[in-house]
Structure 1
Amino acid sequence: MVRIVATAISAIFCLLVLSIAADVIIDWAWFSDLGYLSVFQMALATKAAVFLGVFSMSIAALWVNEWLAFRLGMRAQSGALVLGSDVARLRISSGADPGPPYLRLILAAAASFASLLVALYQASQWDLFLRFLYQVPYGDADPVFGADLGFFLFSLPAYVTLKDWALTLIILSAATALAVYAALGSVQLGPRTVVSRAAIAHGSALLGALLTVKAGSYALDRYLLLYSNNDILVGAGYTDVNVTLPLISVLVALALIGAMLSFANVRICSRRLPVAAVVLVFGGSLVFGEVVPTVFQSLVVKPNELDLERPYIQRSINLTRAAYGLQNVAVRPFAAEQGLTPMLLEANQPTIDNIRLWDGGPLIDTYRQLQEIRTYYRFHTADVDRYWLSGIYRQVTLAAREIDTSRLPSSAQTWVNRHILFTHGSGVVMSPVNRKSAEGLPLFYLRDIPPVADGGPPISEPRIYFGEVNSPYVIVNSSVPEFDYPKGNANVFARYGGARGIPIGSTAWRMLFAWYFKDPSVVLTDYITQESRLLFRRAVKERVHTIAPFLRLDGNPYPVITDGRIVWIQDAYTTSNYFPYAQTVSRGELDYIRNAAKVVIDGYDGSIKFYLAAPSDPIARTYGRIFPELFTPLSRMPADLQRHLRYPQDLFIAQVQVYRTYHMGTPEVFYNREDVWELPRQLDGNGGTMAPYYMIIRLPGEAEAEFILMAPMVPIRRDNMIAWIAARCDPAHYGELIVYEFPKDKLVFGPFQIEARINQNTAISQQITLWNQRGSRVIRGNVHVIPIENSLLYVSPLYLRAEEGQIPELKRVIAAYGEQVVMEETLADALAVLFRQRAGAPSPEATAAQLAGGGIRELLRGHYVRAVEHLKRGDWANFGKEFDAMRSLLDHADKQ
């Protein structure tokens, strides 16, 4: 029996070692191929060191306690203590019954397994220990202890982890010892509970160790007060600082006294001392840690809460803003006037020309129907970006056409097709956000296979081996040519020419990968040659996460066309949930975030570059010390790529969630929660909120249109707009946050109210009802708020989809301004009708009246903006016309 068990354990151990060795070798090759071997080596060495250190100390502690329990339990003793009755004598000879057979083997195996689990868990937190060892100072001190905030980001998490490990070891040691004593009869539970003196002595020692660790835990609780939440503020409040903090010192003292009593009981072996120690510590915790602070908060603080909590509320506001990078938000007034005119619209033509009429859902459905071409291609998402096309700054949507072999017919789901033949996607589609064909379909700047450019940027290398789709591994440069793209009734084939990929020509590598992928075909196939390479981890997010698992990744990597190639940009964050006095988001997962890195992944060969986007972030600087070769300064990113950087949406949403409350900078207003904001509701039937969206506009007071990420804000539980928040994306002002606040005495319609006004419009609602009754399904697009000058324009697209069809068509555009709502076939028509209804057609007399009334400034601004746009494009003729128009206006003003 013992031999069978030993053989089984040996076999399992060998398989485990083989699996780990294969993983390490393959990861070594993969990281080497990408040029990040030093990152892998540091991570591997740290994991191994943490695992071996924790495992050896854990198993030593458990085995020592097991050995000691056997030794004491088997030793002849003078008697045993019967709890709850008189002392009875129990003779145990030196040759006492050792317990059930194989007890030691079973306990040793259990201790080893428990130690293995503990070590694996601690090794999974390897980066926590590295951050502790390589930490850099934050530069600011916390307001309670005066410690650098880096202590809370780097040291405190490590101390808490070590404390938890120590408590786990003591509990497991106690469980091991109790099992031994119970097996030997030294501990018997029942009507007459029996505990031997040896068990009492051993248990007292473990209790002493537990209470010593508990004293350390209380000491750490002093710092953890800075993460408390009393519904008024996050962080230590008046009671925490003035009552709980001093009482924690009392709890530390009580825990140390209890530990000393327990250690003393190792020799005394009294039944009362351990109980007294436990009552002293945990009773004191109840009284001094819970009851006294609660009573003080209710009787003293609550009646004077605002006065007493004022400085602590201010701390919470300041540090929460710092945690989310909101301390430098620019706040500007926005008049929300009703002064838009056709001339102002013309002066803001770049904004009008980039109003988004294609929402992501209908657009991706249309792309899939029109441009996936074959079933094995897939558009994952449609992303928004901007390009300079023919000298014009254009907002566009684009989607990469990736390969998805899971969509091949079942009869074609062969190993050769999935891993050798169908290896890559082909090209992207691109369309402007504001244009449609006569049939209501997108107009394509880039389309078809191979890519055809109709005004879009040329693509010289359209093949996509790496993208958003989670594709299986592929073997390139085999003896079978790779499918490139379909052409008529034939196919075009290609050969991979990238420098990346792991050579797989040798038998050893083939056997290793066959084991790794659990796929014997890698060994059995005859298609692999000496030039063959294996590409795996082809999903962009998986690729980045494997190299830098300590970075939190944005949910939406997006493709960029640069120098004729397709690359992906993945935003990555450094986060923590240990920033003091900071509000948590994402269900309490984090209370600190920075967009630390912009990661660029080549769609053809999978090369990866990590660009450091937040050099002042202490967590990013710490990782820079740990992995000196990981980050490249953002200034070294190619200029063309820098023009395509976007403010990441996940970060913006987290900041908006926090700013909706923490824009209130004074404790009195914050305490009353009298000005809480939220994102607007949207009419989707699910109670959802509007997501922030990208757009090109000219911000109030700025000379040129720019790419921004924007979110309207409404008061909590109200639908009227109160403000809008913009994150600037273009290189000159990247990362700047601006909040435009509306006058509080003026009603400004929010998106949900505009939705309601659209539904109340008789002509529009009747037309929608008519379409729905004629075999079509109406799809309402999102209402976008478009700031123009100091006014707001609202635009919403409307799509039709036939009941039997799959292609949404953009059929109407709804525009609203002030009290007017109109629906027309195009945005230009809607704006023409909307402003003709408001002001009538412009005439020379009206222009003269505007000049006489001081409107020359608006006219001059319009000509100036158009002159600048013509100058950028090198259109000197039209630049001269606009310049002459400005001169005429100035001459006219001089005559007034």
Structure 2
Amino acid sequence: MGNWKFLPALIGSVLVVGIVLYVAFYFIFLHFFVDLWWFESLKLEFYFWLRLLYKFFLFGGVTLAFFTIFFLHFWIASRYLGLNPPDDVLGNLEKNRRFQHLADQFMSGSVKIYTPISLILAMVVAIPFYKQWETALLYFYGRDSGLTEPVYGNDISFYLLSYPIYMLIQQELLSTAILIFLLVGILYWLEHNFVPNQRKQYPLGAKIHLIVLIVFVLIYVVWGFLLQRFSLLYTDTHEPVFYGPGFVEIRYQLPLIWLGIITFLATAITASIFVFSDQHRIKAPFIISLLAFIGVLLLPKSQFIPDLIQKYIVAPNPVKAEKPFMDNNIKATLDAYDLKNIKTIDLTIKLNATQDIETWGNQKRFENIPVWDREYLIDSYKQLQEIRPYYRFLAVDEDRYFILDHTRQVNLAAREVNISKLPEAAQNWENTHLRYTHGYGAVVTPAAQDADKPLVWYLRDLNMYSDVGLNVKHPDIYFGQEQYDYAIVPNKLNIVGIAGTASMEGEEYKGEGGIPISSYFRKALLSFYFQDPKIFFSVNISTRSQLLMRRNITERITRIAPFLHLDKDPYLVLSNDRFYWIQDAYTLSPWYPVSKSAADDFLEGNQKFNYIRNSVKIIVDALDGDVDFYISDPSDAIIQAYRRIYPGLFKNLEEMPAELRKHLRYPRDLYYLQMKVYARYHQRTPELFYEQAETWQFANVRRQPVRPYYQTMDFGNCNNREEFVMINPMTPVNRDNLSMIGVAGIVDGANCGLDYKPGITVYRFGKEVQVNGPAQVEALINQNPEISAQFTLWGRYGSTVKMGRMIILPMGNTILYVQPIYLVSIKTKIPELTRVIVSIGNEVVMDRTLWSAFERLKKIYIQGAAQTEGAETLKAIEKPEGE
């Protein structure tokens, strides 16, 4: 019976060991090996090891440093703890030997006690560094950007790369110093009061030790005050007028910070003298300096003085008082959002558009006007080209290809696999992971097309039919935008009738983008990882099989480079060999000094930031899953730091294959964000910025903002070469007339080559002539009796009339508006492009083709010009002689 008393302890020990082994296996051993194999499949094993070593070496180094600090101070304290007997105790030789033996025991015991305590404290302090290990690396690998901010004159890279880690280090060191001072002080107090036979006075070494600790606390507090100066650069108290420090912060709060440093040092010095010096123990200096320091600390919490300054100095002269600070905010914000080099063209709009119609009105300019909206086109793709129930089109992309001896803008979409529409009995493990493993092919249609005709296809069907020469050798899509589960290919199943034509049936996976399942050990480990025993027991998996995982391109990229922020719209690119995905990626920071924070509708996750660069273009192979990172903005200090941190991960943009490089574009999300900021910050003088009289907003139509859209057109910049640009119209705040048209492109205007040179041109309209905005043009359309009658007639025959996105283009000194009209069947939901409306000035014409509508519009203006000229001639003839 006596042995049974150990049973609960034995069971408890077994449970603890089991839990530890389970956690170690699943969360360390298992994930480590699968991640390693996955990075090896991407040929990024060096990068995998580097990130791992960075993370744990930094954590280990910081832990060791703080362990040394804690242990050293505890050991020094134990050196004086209990070893300060009076002389009469040491006078007796035998007592002296006994005391020395006691001291030796005490020292060795102290080491055993302080070692685990120091280690635990060091690990707790090091946890924030572990969480922000990449921030620390940015500091170590960062370099100056060459730009300085105007308030303190520091390089911008100091705020982007150094300031965040400085704040963390200061907080951790200050907390550590205070903690050590308290613990060591307690030890000395215990020694003085509870260890027998001690002198009345503290040992000199103990006093020196405590003074040193106080000095460290002082240093870290002063450092905190110095860092507090930089926090003024991120104040938002002056919004909505401007962002950043103003007159009150720089003329009042900044001197208070310096005064706080002085009074704090004075308090610390007088307090040290009062505590440690019996000869100079005078209360008055200490009390005076302490009260002064408390007063300085309390002043910022009171709004009395700032309110007085605001009321009697700033408010009567707001522009004069805040002018340099508003100027700082304008310049910083334009630079932080890469807007300082925008090219502005003042465009005078002419009421008589005859000359522009004659000059610009050639048919070539209408071959790429995108009358097909991707929001409507996706329904046609789904109804006509998904073909099989397990295929799905997720989104329509826009691009340009050289087709029929001409660069043409197209819409295209990948046919990805999704088995959710199969019968429930067919959604089994074998079908999900071995049979229905990938999408197949894509569809391509022109963005411009005549109305009232069937949709034109450049690439269609599962046989990848194209009558314009588009051809893809490997049209399989294993990696895409769908939420793919893992797939195991090739396998032993005889797969027929899944993808392609009869000649393509049963073709095995030709890619190299998976984890080889070459042994039972790998099969077992992957089974545990996915918690799916079928991987291990399936007889249809061979030694040539590969497991494809993380096949969603967003998940795939984020797993590799979580420090990059991804655009919400990756797009498909066709090459002669296979499909690729191009993903724009950004570097963000909330630490750009004096820059206005971005709105919260840009990227998912609502991350706060006030600096952005489209610094990386990412290519993902849809067949292999290979991921390549190309630096598209070498001026970005953040991405250059990452390039030094991870050598070999990033490539120069010039290394991107030319076949893919010609499909780069200006990101839609970035342009939307930039224009949202520029709508206010284009007012570059403090006086105009304060008035906000020229603030813009996105043009609105049907109560919806007109978002930036892609357009392929010759703007006369590169020898009749079409450019693929983004168009963005804006109006004055709370008005409908047009103020500007922004054009964002990537063509190098100097040499018109393949070099990626993103830039924005703003065509700004004068106030002499009102330029109709989208809402006003739509009102003209609705007021046209012929058009309104036709809309009513169409609505009677089981269809709904839908107005697509309005296209707005500068054409010389005239603005051209193109409005596509769709008929959407109530039964099938398939949209049909039925008419196109063209408008210039206050004239509106509807027809089946852009060119015919434009020709009719041209006749109206030519006739109007002729009538005007005839009237002026008649008036001159009738004018009496001599007048």
TM interval, shorter chain, is 0.7 to 0.9
Partner in structure 1 of residue 30 of structure 2? 22
Partner in structure 1 of residue 297 of structure 2? 285
Q: Residues of 2 paired with 1:652 and 1:171: CA distance?
A: 49
SS at match of 2:683: coil
Q: Residues of 2 paired with 1:376 and 1:340: CA distance?
A: 52
Q: What pairs with 1:218-617 in structure 2 (closer than 5 Å)? A: 218-229=225-236, 230-231=238-239, 232-255=241-264, 284-288=296-300, 290-291=302-303, 292-341=305-354, 344=358, 347-435=361-449, 438=452, 440-482=453-495, 485-486=498-499, 492-587=505-600, 589-617=608-636
Q: Residues of 1 paired with 2:861 and 2:139: CA distance?
A: 65
- Alignment pair present for 1:756 and 2:746: no
Q: Residues of 1 paired with 2:51 and 2:219: CA distance?
A: 33
Asked if 1 retains the 8 angstrom alpha-carbon contact of 2:451 and 2:849, the reply is: no
SS at match of 1:678: strand
Shift of 1:749: 0.7
Q: Residues of 1 paired with 2:615 and 2:678: CA distance?
A: 20
Partner in structure 2 of residue 188 of structure 1? none
| CA displacement, residues 501-558 of structure 1 (integer Å, 9 cap, x when unaligned) | 2111211111222222222222121221111111111111222222211111111111
Q: Residues of 1 paired with 2:454 and 2:179: CA distance?
A: 66
Shift of 1:15: 2.7
Partner in structure 1 of residue 190 of structure 2? none
Q: Residues of 1 paired with 2:9 and 2:289: CA distance?
A: 44
Shift of 1:773: 4.3
Q: Residues of 1 paired with 2:441 and 2:180: CA distance?
A: 61
Asked if 2 retains the 8 angstrom alpha-carbon contact of 1:471 and 1:539, the reply is: yes
Shift of 1:642: 1.8
SS at match of 1:767: helix
Alignment CA distance shift 1:212-1:772 (3 Å): farther
Q: Residues of 1 paired with 2:639 and 2:159: CA distance?
A: 15
Letter in 1 for 2:862: A
Partner in structure 1 of residue 155 of structure 2? 148
Q: Residues of 1 paired with 2:732 and 2:357: CA distance?
A: 33
Letter in 2 for 1:813: V
SS at match of 1:724: strand
SS at match of 2:349: coil
Q: Which one of 688, 699, 704 corresponds to residue 715 of structure 2?
A: 699
Asked if 2 retains the 8 angstrom alpha-carbon contact of 1:423 and 1:483, the reply is: no
- Alignment pair present for 1:47 and 2:60: no
SS at match of 2:382: helix
Asked if 1 retains the 8 angstrom alpha-carbon contact of 2:451 and 2:848, the reply is: no
Q: Residues of 2 paired with 1:550 and 1:682: CA distance?
A: 38
Shift of 1:137: 0.7
Asked if 2 retains the 8 angstrom alpha-carbon contact of 1:814 and 1:824, the reply is: yes
Q: Residues of 2 paired with 1:208 and 1:276: CA distance?
A: 21
Shift of 1:217: 2.9
- Alignment pair present for 1:726 and 2:749: no
Q: Which one of 163, 166, 187 corresponds to residue 159 of structure 1?
A: 166
Q: Residues of 2 paired with 1:484 and 1:821: CA distance?
A: 52
Alignment CA distance shift 1:760-1:262 (3 Å): farther
| CA displacement, residues 127-179 of structure 1 (integer Å, 9 cap, x when unaligned) | 211100000111122222222211111110111233455677799999999xx
Q: Residues of 1 paired with 2:365 and 2:273: CA distance?
A: 80
Q: Residues of 2 paired with 1:838 and 1:651: CA distance?
A: 39
Letter in 2 for 1:534: L
SS at match of 1:447: coil
Q: Residues of 2 paired with 1:214 and 1:379: CA distance?
A: 59
Alignment CA distance shift 1:568-1:265 (3 Å): farther
SS at match of 1:604: coil
Q: Residues of 1 paired with 2:583 and 2:688: CA distance?
A: 39
Q: Which one of 832, 857, 860 corresponds to residue 834 of structure 1?
A: 857
Which sits farther off after the overlay, 822-831 or 472-481?
A: 822-831
Partner in structure 2 of residue 628 of structure 1? 647
Q: Residues of 2 paired with 1:470 and 1:66: CA distance?
A: 55
Q: Residues of 2 paired with 1:174 and 1:362: CA distance?
A: 69
Which sits farther off after the overlay, 490-499 or 663-672?
A: 490-499
Shift of 1:205: 13
Letter in 2 for 1:711: N
Q: Residues of 2 paired with 1:45 and 1:708: CA distance?
A: 43
Shift of 1:729: 2.8
Alignment CA distance shift 1:310-1:479 (3 Å): same
SS at match of 1:418: helix
Letter in 1 for 2:45: L
Q: Residues of 1 paired with 2:18 and 2:295: CA distance?
A: 51
Partner in structure 2 of residue 717 of structure 1? 734
Q: Residues of 1 paired with 2:686 and 2:706: CA distance?
A: 29
Which sits farther off after the overlay, 366-375 or 285-294?
A: 285-294
Q: Residues of 1 paired with 2:424 and 2:592: CA distance?
A: 52
Asked if 2 retains the 8 angstrom alpha-carbon contact of 1:345 and 1:352, the reply is: no
Unmatched tracts of structure 1, length 5 or more? 69-107, 178-203, 850-896
| CA displacement, residues 806-849 of structure 1 (integer Å, 9 cap, x when unaligned) | 2112122222221122333332333233333333599xx99x99
- Alignment pair present for 1:746 and 2:769: yes
Shift of 1:671: 1.6
SS at match of 1:531: coil
Which sits farther off after the overlay, 762-771 or 717-726?
A: 762-771
Q: Give the TM-score taking structure 1 as reference length.
A: 0.79
Letter in 2 for 1:582: S
For these two proteins, the number of residue pairs brought into alignment is: 789
Q: Residues of 1 paired with 2:260 and 2:344: CA distance?
A: 47
Alignment CA distance shift 1:676-1:543 (3 Å): same
Alignment CA distance shift 1:347-1:207 (3 Å): same
Shift of 1:23: 1.9
| CA displacement, residues 5-55 of structure 1 (integer Å, 9 cap, x when unaligned) | 665544433333222222222222222222222322222112213444566
Letter in 2 for 1:379: F
SS at match of 1:446: coil
Q: Residues of 1 paired with 2:498 and 2:746: CA distance?
A: 36
Shift of 1:4: 6.1
Q: Residues of 1 paired with 2:483 and 2:864: CA distance?
A: 55
Q: Residues of 2 paired with 1:276 and 1:755: CA distance?
A: 74
Partner in structure 2 of residue 783 of structure 1? 806
Letter in 2 for 1:669: L
Alignment CA distance shift 1:654-1:487 (3 Å): closer
Asked if 1 retains the 8 angstrom alpha-carbon contact of 2:412 and 2:442, the reply is: yes
Alignment CA distance shift 1:309-1:602 (3 Å): same
Asked if 2 retains the 8 angstrom alpha-carbon contact of 1:465 and 1:606, the reply is: yes
Q: Residues of 1 paired with 2:134 and 2:859: CA distance?
A: 63
Q: Residues of 1 paired with 2:461 and 2:759: CA distance?
A: 38
Letter in 2 for 1:392: H
Higher Cα radius of gyration = 2
Q: Residues of 1 paired with 2:335 and 2:318: CA distance?
A: 25
Letter in 2 for 1:768: F
Q: Residues of 1 paired with 2:388 and 2:494: CA distance?
A: 19
